[in-house]
Amino acid sequence: MPSLEEPDKNLRLTNLVLRNFRNHQEFSLKGLQGITILAGPNATGKTSVVEAIQLISALKSFRASQIGRAIRWGQTAASVIATIESDHRQLDLQLRIEEGKRSYRLNGKARRARDLRGLFPAVTFVPDDLGLAKGPSSARRGALDDLGAQISKNFAMVQSDYTKLVRQKNQALRDEASDTVIDSIDEVLTLVGVQILSHRSVMIKRLLPYFQLYYERIAQANETADIQYIPCWNEENQTQWTFEREECLAIFTSTLQQARLQERLRRKSVVGPHADKVVFLINGHDAAHFASQGQQRSLVLAYKLAEAAVIEETLNQRPILLLDDVMSELDHQRRDQFMSMIEEDIQIFITTTNLEYFTDEIKEKALIQYLGGDNNEA
């Protein structure tokens, strides 16, 4: 029998209970299997259900607000309780939010969030994601790092260390610390930063074949999709980077030294993985500037499907798909193509205001849960 925290390809979320989470005093779903459609008008709590599932699977929320705001107004704590099952085992996973902090329990025992990474992964698709192809590079960089955190506990720790180092350096620059102090921070920053570069390089290599395959199927056009990673020190020569460790260390260190005056003037760190670019390309051209809206949306759909494929390939665990009100943002053709490419045995949760977005075949297979009534928040 697999250990509690070992990935299991056939895990399914079978039961879900929300207590004092957002606008839900108590909300439950039982007997979940394949496709679950949460239907109803806006402001009935559908998005909150998807957010709760993301917090117990991907261990983060797509909502930017502080986690303490997930507690229902007038209450002091919120909880999300999930039963996750396969043919081999049953896991009881609980999230409690109190005093602005999260705590997790797995089968009754306290667990750190980082210990649960990869146990029950998810791919989340929200309307804001449709701007991924044309939006700022930071959005694509963030999407890549979110994927990395789910498939590699080591990456999640390295990323956390790097973020702390950048904050430490920014504070030192604001305090006008000596070059000796900045040098000591930069020495560690380069070592940690190169690890991030290496992880990102591997992730792009894994994503790219799926990304190109799905884009070709969705776009149904003679076009080539690509993902390009451009380190901040290599913007003038936008070719594929080798990410060879010693070479990266040398150039990273040199670029930091050259940027010292600029960083002191701006009082913040401007060199490193946090400033690198991730670009989606169509036929070699930056999709943010040269792709149509339809092409950009096809790129995003392909990227999300590629994420799911990489998670399964890496962890031997099928992710669940969380689709929050994205069907209304897609035309009929892309809706049907997207749904047809999702593997039959992947568990999906979809929110919608209109069931007409779905084929009769999907509606017949799905558990449809209607939300409405007294809820007063999305």
Give 253-275 pLDDT, tens digit per residue: 999 999 999 999 999 999 999 99
- Indicate if the pLDDT at residue 377 is higher than 50: no
- Residue 337 confidence (pLDDT): 86
Residues belonging to the binding site for ATP are 40-47
| DSSP tag of 351 | E
- Indicate if the pLDDT at residue 73 is higher than 50: yes
Cα distance between residue 337 and residue 288, in whole Å: 23
- Residue 89 confidence (pLDDT): 87
- Indicate if the pLDDT at residue 104 is higher than 80: yes
Of 269, 249, 235, 123, give the one whose Cα is nearest residue 196.
249
CB 32 within 8 A of CB 102: no
Average pLDDT of the chain, as a whole number: 90
Give 293-326 pLDDT, tens digit per residue: 999 999 999 999 999 999 999 999 899 999 999 8
- Residue 378 confidence (pLDDT): 45
pTM (2 d.p.):
0.89
Domains in the chain with CATH codes:
1-121+319-377 (3.40.50.300), 129-316 (1.20.1050.90)
- Residue 88 confidence (pLDDT): 82
CA distances from 299 to 98, 152, 290 (A): 39, 24, 13
CA distances from 18 to 26, 42, 79, 212, 328 (A): 5, 19, 6, 38, 26
- Grade residue 30 by pLDDT with cuts at 50, 70 and 90: very high
Residues belonging to the binding site are 40-47
- Indicate if the pLDDT at residue 101 is higher than 60: yes
- Grade residue 79 by pLDDT with cuts at 50, 70 and 90: very high
Least confident stretch, 22-31, 50-59, 113-122: 113-122
Give 164-195 pLDDT, tens digit per residue: 999 999 999 999 999 999 999 999 999 999 99
> What percent of the chain clears pLDDT 70, i.e. is strictly above it?
93
| DSSP tag of 373 | S
Tokens of 47: 């998005």
